[in-house]
Amino acid sequence: MTDNDACPRFADLGLPEGVVEQLERDGVTTPFAIQAAAIPDALAGRDVLGCGRTGSGKTLAYGLPLLVRSGASRAASRRPRGLVLVPTRELAHQVRDALLPYARTLGVRVGDVVGGSSYNRQINELRRGVEILVATPGRLTDLIEQGACELGDVGLSVIDEADQMCDMGFMPQVSALLDQVRSGGQTLLFSATLDGDVDTLVRRYMKEPETHSIDPPTSHVATMEHHMLKVLPRDKNQIVTQIAAREGRTLLFVRSKHRADAISEQLVNAGVPCASLHGGKSQSVRTKTLAKFREGRVQTLVATDVAARGIHVDGIDMVVNVDLPTGHKDYLHRGGRTARAGESGQVVSLVAPNQRRMARKMFGEAGVQADQHLVNPGDDLLTRVTGAREPSWEPWVEPPEPREHKRGRGGPRKRHNDHGRPRGDRRPRGERDQRAEQGQWRDGRRPDGERRGGGRTPSRGGRRGTPRS
């Protein structure tokens, strides 16, 4: 096998020249393994079953063929031609944003429908027409029931993170939606595991799929380290604070919304730039919080499992299980936020004495070998393993966000009055005085009480032409 065969280029996969050029402008020159394997089959119209860990590049593996094939003709109002089903709002937005640069190159419209966002915006977007629709099952079902969307023209369906979709109880909705797409269409399914309900989806909706398994479902990434920190309950909060104060981008996982907010407040008071992310926050707040974390305005994010899947934030070099996950699948999903796309990372789990047996069983089922350490607050071993350090203990105050102009040049558009001035703008005092000297008032009155065109102004309280008694 030659070097060129071992490392194919995107241009060798059958993608349009404009898409390849856009990939190069984005610095994406060499496809990941899942992309090199799946894109040619998907472009050829075959069903594709992809099995691989998160962060392996599967969004473009299905997204680029989806744009090429579904964007070949214009979609009718309310009738998309390609569909991507995802389990969470954040993943939907991530998929949409990842596809938009290439969609613009091809002239393809991409829309999204997710819970927590405006129904009117989504309905209007569907009414105008989109070729590709990225959706969460619940909101899409609602819009179909309202008559705002029909799936009869969908010829290519993608189910992303299928195992999480099933774990979250979306199997009935996903099946009902796939039953509505065009008969004989193409299906692409991607999942970290292929057991249980995922296997049911494969057998029911896929025809002789080409299977590409990049990583064994329970394997750990070679660039990912796993550590089990044995801690005493009385020391746990202090150890969490010292780990969160480390240099680098850190993601802490907890079991509940209350815990996320409480620990985030604890860290902010200790001087750590921190925010919390969970399902109890509105979609706009969740989007802003992720943006702050992604841009480095906060260095630590405390999250529930709402963020365990599909959220790609570059540079997360440590995931900390403050509260242990419920099982090995959740452990792998959480850990998948680090060591993405060939980068290195660590997964650290804090384990109390009564949790050690359960933790070892979880590591075994996940197929990972975790180094075990007995640590105390402030000791050298904790620092060597995690980079933990003492925080400043001066409460962190979030700086104000930069002001944004919603429109382009000239700033926000203002509505103008009859004189061509923005409403609410006052005339210069000199100009107002000049009009008064000329005997003109804003309502057409003259100083002597007459209106322009003659006639006396009715007295206050009386009707026009009716003298007061």
Give the pLDDT confidence of 290-320 residue by residue, as tens digits: 889 999 999 999 999 876 665 678 789 999 9
Residues 139 and 174 in one domain: yes
Polymer length in residues for the chain: 469
Residues 274 and 310 in one domain: yes
Cβ pair 158, 135 in contact under 8 A = no
418 occurs within a structural domain: no
Note the pLDDT of residue 61.
95
What pLDDT, in 10s, does the model give residues 10-37? Answer: 999 999 999 999 999 999 989 998 999 9
Note the pLDDT of residue 223.
65
Residues 155 and 272 in one domain: no
**Sole residue written with tokens 């393994």:** 33
Mode of pairing for the β-strands spanning 345-351 and 210-213: unpaired
Structure tokens at 178: 């796939």
- Report the CATH number at residue 53: 3.40.50.300
φ/ψ of residue 213, rounded to 5: -105, 110
Last residue of a domain, one of 386, 404, 434: 386
Last residue of a domain, one of 361, 386, 411: 386
452 occurs within a structural domain: no
86 occurs within a structural domain: yes
Give the Cα separation of 351 and 360 in Å (integer): 10
Characterise 12 by phi-psi region: left (phi > 0), alpha (psi -120 to 50), beta (else): alpha
Q: Kind and range of the H or E element at 303?
A: strand 300-303
Least confident of 28-32, 59-63, 147-151, 417-421: 417-421
Average pLDDT in the 267-281 region? 94
Number of structural domains (the chain) is 2
Find, among 169, 164, 168, 103, the residue nearest to 130 by Cα.
103
Residues 238 and 351 in one domain: yes
Residues 119 and 191 in one domain: yes
443 occurs within a structural domain: no
What is the CB neighbour count within 10 angstroms for residue 198?
Answer: 23
445 occurs within a structural domain: no
Structure tokens at 319: 């995931």
What is the CB neighbour count within 10 angstroms for residue 467?
Answer: 8
Give the Cα separation of 157 and 137 in Å (integer): 13
Give the Cα separation of 152 and 147 in Å (integer): 13
Average pLDDT in the 350-364 region? 96
Last residue of a domain, one of 213, 244, 270: 213
Average pLDDT in the 320-347 region? 85
Share of the chain above pLDDT 90, in %: 61
Find, among 165, 162, 98, 173, the residue nearest to 132 by Cα.
98
Average pLDDT of every residue of the chain: 84
Answer positive or negative: Cα dihedral of 146, 148, 151, 153. positive
Characterise 465 by phi-psi region: left (phi > 0), alpha (psi -120 to 50), beta (else): left
Note the pLDDT of residue 436.
39
Give the Cα separation of 84 and 67 in Å (integer): 11
Least confident of 179-188, 257-266, 297-306: 297-306
SS3 content of the chain, % helix, strand, coil (to 5): 40, 15, 45
Neighbour-count burial of 445, counting CB atoms closer than 10 A to its CB (0-12 exposed, 13-18 middle, 19+ buried): middle
The DSSP-derived string for 198-262 is: HHHHHHHH-SSPEEEE-S-TTPPPTTEEEEEEE--GGGHHHHHHHHHTSSSEEEEE-SSHHHHHH
Residues 381 and 247 in one domain: yes
Structure tokens at 420: 């061509």
∠ CA 403-404-409, rounded to 5°: 125
What pLDDT, in 10s, does the model give residues 416-428? Answer: 444 444 444 444 4
φ/ψ of residue 110, rounded to 5: -120, 130
203 occurs within a structural domain: yes
Residues 194 and 233 in one domain: no
Under the banding of pLDDT at 50, 70 and 90, the label for residue 116 is confident
- How far is the CA of 467 from the CAs of 133, 328, 447, 450, 455, in angstroms? 67, 88, 21, 16, 14
Cβ pair 401, 284 in contact under 8 A = no
Find, among 244, 103, 225, 294, the residue nearest to 253 by Cα.
244
Find, among 22, 94, 99, the residue nearest to 313 by Cα.
94
Average pLDDT in the 378-396 region? 96
> For the chain, how long is the longest CA-to-CA vector?
107
Give the Cα separation of 317 and 338 in Å (integer): 6
Residues 261 and 207 in one domain: no
Under the banding of pLDDT at 50, 70 and 90, the label for residue 337 is confident
Residues 281 and 379 in one domain: yes
Average pLDDT in the 359-366 region? 93
59 occurs within a structural domain: yes
Residues 149 and 286 in one domain: no
Residue span of the structural domain in which 244 resides: 224-386
pLDDT at 435 over 50: no
Cβ pair 66, 35 in contact under 8 A = no
Q: Kind and range of the H or E element at 356?
A: helix 356-366
Report the 3 state secondary structure along 30-88.
CCCHHHHHHHHHHHCCCCEEEECCCCCCHHHHHHHHHHHHHCCCCCECCECCEEEECCC
More confident residue, 112 or 341: 112
The DSSP-derived string for 129-167 is: --SEEEE-HHHHHHHHHTTS---TT--EEEE-SHHHHHH
Residues 252 and 370 in one domain: yes
Residues 20 and 168 in one domain: yes
Q: Kind and range of the H or E element at 190?
A: strand 186-191
412 occurs within a structural domain: no
